Amino acid sequence: MKKRFAVMAMAVASAAALAACSGSEEAAATTAAQASEAAEETTAAGEAEETEAEASEEAGGAEASADGRTVIKFYKQDGGNGAPQALVDAFNNSQDEITVEWVIAPKDSGDVRTQLNTAFGAGSSEYDVVCIDTIWAGDMAGAGYLEALDPYMMDAGLTVADFNSGSIAAGTYSAKTYAIPLYPDFGSLFFRSDIVSEEDAAKLVSGDYTFEDLLAMSETYAGQGGTSVGLAIQAAQYEGLICNVNEWTSNFTDIEHGLELFKTATDADYTPQDILVYREADCNNALANGETVFSRGWPGTWGVLTDETTVSKDQVDIAPLPGGSCIGGWLLAINTYSENKEAAWEFLKYAATDGQIPFCSTGGYVPGYNALVDNEEILAGNELLSKPGFIKALENTIPRPSSSKYSELTDALQISIHKYLSNEGDLAGTVAEVESLLEEYK
């Protein structure tokens, strides 16, 4: 039955994806004939401007503001909470040599990645400091698009130990650091503290439990307090599946046992019947609507719980996951083609350290800089940081597999693992295929 639900939903998802990919193509460049005609029509004033621009480029190419400051372009999405602007303003006001200008990236992360790869592929210096998803770092570093940060960090007295472990690992490729965290996102277990016993709750929050324990609790508590299931996890064929499996296999170090347990969960009566199409929103809704006792989520899950939802924040607590919390979030990197690398580093260093105070306190983010996890201003803007189970999860984050071809790797892993969960493959064959893929895409 669960397999039938998955197949139907995947068909709908595929149709939606095809529709989303369709669209008109626009010309990327002017034809040679048009260029020639345009050149003939160039005015004397235009020629003068071009000559002036060339002279400026020969003189150094670094853009400067009217007051003589070096201008840095910071490419990042707008989360709608004022945090990026607060960061930029704080940096600009902290010194008088560099001006950072925030270039707002598209809302869709896929468009952000495409735009960056297009710019990088053309050798463009348009952006100096870029904000990238944790799963892009390996691809971009492997392509030679990002500047290695180790020499800069050494000169600044910074080490990888100063930052969230999972985030900094995600920014590492071939033993070099190419990106450091702006803020981490990470998996956690949200549970109904008004249903789970005090003894079990304490065990969960401490992190002193196994996935076997979680399955046993899910079976025990399912149906209590008006719930219909015990556990909601992300098991659809998409990136969220890899995040969940990453946790259940302890960063793909215990693949056979982790996959077997994960399938035990998806096959069980105490998980939703359509679990094989469950994504983050489904899990969040199941928790907020009072349908499940346990739900795997990201920090954003907390914001879904309000006084208007069936289940509110005071009925829920948070625990770390046994195999480590899969890291998400965003990293900061320097465009290898930047003409202002030293200035870019000064801003990146600030954004990843002291600048986390205005950024995180304004946006409610978790800092990637360990020294600021208990900063009073940041704590005031994020109540999750006062929860012991949440801090435990933050301290035990794990990256997804690092690869210069991560998008190809994750697509292949998703297909293989989801087939196994859908009873279209056996455990031994799936384990062998997963191990082979991880080796192939190292």
Q: What is the DSSP letter of 146?
A: B
70 and 156 together in one domain? yes
Tokens 């598209």 belong to: 106
Where do the DSSP E strands lie in 139-284? 172-173, 176-177, 180-186, 188-192, 229-232
Phi, psi angles (nearest 5°) of residue 328:
-130, -150
For residue 404, count other CB atoms closer than 10 A to its CB. 18
- Do the domain assignments include residue 271? yes
d(CA 246, CA 57): 48
Residue 8 confidence (pLDDT): 46
197 and 296 together in one domain? yes
- Do the domain assignments include residue 204? yes
- Do the domain assignments include residue 51? no
d(CA 164, CA 395): 7
Mean pLDDT by 10 residues, the chain (442 residues): 49 38 34 37 40 38 74 95 96 98 94 97 98 96 98 98 97 97 98 99 98 99 99 98 98 98 99 98 97 97 94 98 96 99 99 98 95 96 95 96 93 99 98 98 90
Length of the chain: 442
Tokens 């704590």 belong to: 379
Name which of 289, 367, 323 is nearest 188 in CA terms: 323
Name which of 436, 402, 430 is nearest 259 in CA terms: 430
d(CA 222, CA 219): 5
359 and 273 together in one domain? no
d(CA 262, CA 30): 54
- Do the domain assignments include residue 202? yes
Q: Structural domain of residue 421, as residue ranges? A: 188-320+405-440
Q: What is the DSSP letter of 279?
A: -
Per DSSP, the residues of 285-352 read: HHHHTT-EEEEEE-TTHHHH--TTSSS-GGGEEEE--TT-EEEEEEEEEEBTT-S-HHHHHHHHHHHH
219 and 244 together in one domain? yes
Contact between 69 and 91 under an 8 Å Cβ cutoff? The reply is no
> Parallel, antiparallel, or unpaired for β 129-133 and 70-77?
parallel
424 and 312 together in one domain? yes
The residues, any chain, with a CB within 8 Å of residue 360's CB and separated by 6 or more, are 83, 183, 366, 367, 372, 378, 381, 382
265 and 363 together in one domain? no
210 and 245 together in one domain? yes
199 and 173 together in one domain? no
294 and 364 together in one domain? no
291 and 417 together in one domain? yes
For residue 60, count other CB atoms closer than 10 A to its CB. 10
Q: Is 157 left (phi over 0), alpha (psi -120 to 50) or beta?
A: left
- Do the domain assignments include residue 19? no
The residues, any chain, with a CB within 8 Å of residue 280's CB and separated by 6 or more, are 234, 240, 297, 298, 300, 301
d(CA 68, CA 419): 60
- Do the domain assignments include residue 30? no
Number of domains in the chain: 2
- Do the domain assignments include residue 42? no
290 and 370 together in one domain? no
H or E stretch at 387: none
For the stretch 109-112, contacts whose Cβ atoms lie closer than 8 Å and that sit 24 or more positions apart, written own/partner, are: 109/77, 109/133, 112/77
CATH of the domain at 309: 3.40.190.10
Residue 62 confidence (pLDDT): 59
Residue 67 confidence (pLDDT): 80
pTM exceeds 0.85, yes or no: no
Contact between 276 and 235 under an 8 Å Cβ cutoff? The reply is yes
Residue 80 confidence (pLDDT): 87
211 and 95 together in one domain? no
Residue 97 confidence (pLDDT): 97
Beta bridge partners of 184: 329
- Do the domain assignments include residue 44? no
Cα dihedral 335, 339, 343, 345 sign: positive
